[in-house]
Amino acid sequence: MFRIDIERVIKRRIPFLVRRVVNPYFDLERFFNDALRYQWMVRDRDDQESTWGAYYEFGVGQMNSTRTYWSACRRLSRSLGFPPPRVYGFDTFTGLPETDHEADQLAGWTPGRFAKSLSDCEREAKALGIPSVRFVQGLFEESLTPALGEELAKDLPGIINIDVDFYTSTQTVLNFLIPLLRPGVLIYFDDIWSFNGDPSRGQLRAIREFNEAGPFYLTPHWLGLGGGQVYAVSRPLEP
């Protein structure tokens, strides 16, 4: 009996480990899968505010995360029967911008890196079969306007991916998102460990300042990943 149980474990774990080695975005896809499943299953519960909504991606880059999200979303939409949420991608589409802020500096983060043109992203989204996608082009300081926020208020996010490398870019994105957030929304920060946990630099600094300013608070979520970190949005009680 004990040998049979061991064999079952091996048979179940080997395909899992193989997928994890072959697919560098396996952990991210698992997060998308778990988050989408959970948010869909609890959307009508009376004891929780629904956070079912669109997918926002800040920092589209080479579309690796977009592709990974759509892989999980397409599979779950078929098995659970939900309509795929709309996908929004925000990027310069010319690569990393220039920055001279000391909290942004890291070797390898050079202007133009991770560039993929808007037209190439649009073609790939069409080839992937994403039914509803909108790309917003420009520097975040210029493109994330109050007018855009009013438009997006009609399609609030459930899952947000902030893959923008810099402290300054993360700060701009978080401030823009304040009117669009709800408790329970999940935010994935891809570059949070780029400075080895230094709270004065990068995304960790932006998160700390966001939490200090309120009204929302970001708390690390159990859906943590090897390369980044998931945070859950909450609204603390007034003191």
pTM strictly above 0.95: no
> How many CB atoms are located within 10 Å of the residue 45 CB?
9
Burial readout 204-232 (b: 16 or more C-beta within 10 A, e: otherwise):
bbbbeebeeeeebbbeebebebeebbbbb
Q: Which amino acid is at 170?
A: T
The arithmetic mean of pLDDT across residues 208-235, rounded, is 91
β-strand partners of 91: 137
Q: Name the phi and psi angles at 189, rounded to 5.
A: -105, 110
Tokens of 58: 């800040």
Q: In the sheet where 54-58 sits, what is the strand order?
A: 133-137, 87-91, 54-58, 157-162, 186-189, 229-234, 217-220
The arithmetic mean of pLDDT across residues 95-100, rounded, is 93
Q: Would you say residue 121 has pLDDT above 80?
A: yes
**Residue 8 pLDDT grade (very low, low, confident, very high; cuts 50, 70, 90):** low
Q: What digits encode the pLDDT tens for the residues 80-97?
A: 999 999 999 999 999 999
pLDDT of res. 47? 66
**Residue 1 pLDDT grade (very low, low, confident, very high; cuts 50, 70, 90):** very low
Q: What digits encode the pLDDT tens for the residues 138-195?
A: 999 999 999 999 999 999 999 999 999 999 999 999 999 999 999 999 999 999 999 9
